[in-house]
Chains A and B, each alone.
Chain A
């Protein structure tokens, strides 16, 4: 690493010339140019400021976290300050304020030696996976000593199969998937765990431009809709939404499984009338002037979970320290993504071919919530998508009630037990607290979904309360 290449999340936080916002394999415009410059100058000279081994790296991470924290994660302010007072002075001042050595030792002790540092993490190229993806270019995995390859996957069926056969150590999944996989619905049963949710909200119902006059769902008789996967919030939310408007999702409309990247092409070809799908494809349909955003899913259930970070129970059992480090990286990245100020920067980091492969403006409209709706209006909905890692047990219970309602499972289900086994709320809480974020005290709460209360203690009664159902 030559001294020219100063973009590094492990850079010296006391050096005003170094940016801390970009990871070593960062793919953004600046870093690419920098990497090119780095290759051109045959400067193989090792920068003394780079940490040489994992011990030093850990020290650097702690220093970096403190310094970043002091400057409210604003890299510009940090660099201005360091330039002004000099890095040495700042380091000395900081050391007198914080017991730096004690903190460094505590963090190291906590983690223990990593069983495995090279990991494969799969993702489907959608904005829901933002924390999993951006943790790579922005150096969150690196910060916890992990060398992660984030691998793009064509759809969830393949993501599931690659997770089941251990090609992926962990993967981006839809929140219902680990539940379905653990129950053996749609695949062979295999205990999977979901220690963190990725995003809440962030989906939308998009209709073809031809249907601009059909904004009332009761006019949707005979429509064909795309959803990304059977065991998805998209499927369950669409079913819930049309059923609340009196349509039977199995008889009055047709629901077809289409992998997210193929949604827009199918909408253009007229194969489907609309879809409830993940972004960026909702916004992309608007951008391509094919469809318009009928409804953001936050209107159906504000704060609904969507995608998740999941791994096999076996991986977590056999590699507890690696699992811990990975979970810390993910939760840290999720919290970072949740801050609206970071969204534009993230949009730029995840748009390149290696990640989402989409125009930056489309990703930015999704993440910032200032977007064109396809009907000629600019809408400002800052919580169009948000990121919150806490896996509420009550979310799992709701999903299970919908799986039962629509006949995906028909045996007796112990709702609370399955939720506890798969959604690891206590792991998430522990890590969130340790990283200094607020975590809720309880594991479950009730929800208001389109004005109807969901009581997580009464799942069977909740199912009975619907007129349109399969069970």
Chain B
């Protein structure tokens, strides 16, 4: 039963046990990954051979730590850049979308709204292949008609950005819309009445109000982009993003460097998540 009702001891205990099991299930793989990042062994497995930082800082021929592992470092840098542009694009377009669907009226609005939701139901793999095919068709068309070789149409950095943006923008639109729906539109009228034009109203009043939602969705967009695999898999060119790069390594046998990277990712994203939570709590208070 619920906390305000009396319940039997067995009920309480078994429920508690279940929750403990659930959390073990949740954290076991992450914990093991982190711990093995510090094992002084050539393989990410037990037995424990002693504590070492070498998988982070080492620079020996047989043991290259992550800080000296150029390929992995490069892929992190690619991911950082991709995520930056994806966030920028999806937050700006998603915010436009929120304004469009919440505040404007036009014909075919339900159709467009449905289209906006579509990326939620399209598997990421399909998004990836359809964008890949379409860009290739466009590329061939440009080349045959105008003898133009447009780099954007080949798998690579910008195609990855576009592919990830295509569904992350939906997420931003939904998050910002939810907040915009709570906005009291008389505030806009009040600002108009005090002499602000439409642009100033949006800038000083509406966007200020939306700020927590925009910042929150930007953080989520960044993380989603940083971790995306399914869509990216088909669009990636010579510059592999971190998940793609890690996938190739994991598939072909792994070293504790992957644990070290995972450790950094776990710590980094946890801190980011905590910070995001902290600030969003603070904003809403």
Are A and B a genuine interacting pair, yes or no?
no
